[in-house]
Structure 1
Amino acid sequence: MTDWGAVSSWVAAGISMATFGAGTIRAWWNRAEVEWALSADLKMGRFGGESTWMEGSGTFLNFGDGPAHRVSVFIHRANTNAKKSQLLATSPLVKPGDVVEFDFGVSIEHLDDTHVWVTWTPPPIRRRREVSSPRIALKDHVQLSDNAGQRVESYRKKSAGGQS
């Protein structure tokens, strides 16, 4: 004989597991994400003369739909003697639509090899799992002032002519 009570219990358990799995997948799929947009400006440094040092300021905008905790902005100038990356800015919390502002400097010689990125901890922060954005080439996202743009083009022409 078939024990219909046991069969109905197993069917109910299967439906319960399927519902739990679907709810878990839906919550994971619709979780809040952090996304970053970089904008930066560069101008010639205050040293004047033949100096190739440029000074700039930038922002990383959180245009995602989730908050970012323990945010840090880093820069790495690849062709310098510095082995480590430099910390530019920190913020305990960046909500969606907020920005992290930072100041930086770079020489014309190293502009093409300079990268910036953001690290942050997504919620729940008790897990302490840090996430890092891809390294972004500064040259692709920087707005040069008139005199800085002219100096960079002049330097690139001179470098290209010297390598031939």
Structure 2
Amino acid sequence: MTAIRLFLSLPQLPAGGAPIAGSRIPPPAKAGGTLRFHWWTLLVGCLPLAHLAGGGGASLPLVERQVDEVLLTAAQTVLAVVLLLDLRFLPWKAALLLALFAVQFALPGESARFALGWVYLGIAVPLLALRLCQLPPTVRALAGRIEGDPH
């Protein structure tokens, strides 16, 4: 619990590493591709390291429900990133994400969540194959290098 309090008390950092003036709450994302580092990401990423430093083994023991939740969260993230590769959030994309998100409440069982994670990935992979040509322009846009853009 002490580690969680420590992380929550730290200031928010942008990707470059300089603190945002006096804020413990993340500011709204700015346009122009500024990516913000979030302390919760660091906290979750450090769990295996903390487990290892505390005398645990090389792998972090998780119960089946936790494995399913991690898979579902990662799969949701993958699908959302693939849908946003063209930097346009169209109504059908929102409806797809909302429908899939709502299904997890209708089917709360562990096996249903595991299967739903694979459904997310099953949708994301073919969409990614169709959108691979959009990957370089998206990376350039996120890095702030858009031709003709004065910002």
Normalising by the smaller structure, the TM-score range is under 0.3
What TM-score, normalized by structure 2, do the two folds share?
A: 0.25
Higher helix share: 2
What TM-score, normalized by structure 1, do the two folds share?
A: 0.23
| Larger-gyration structure (1/2) | 1
Higher strand share: 1
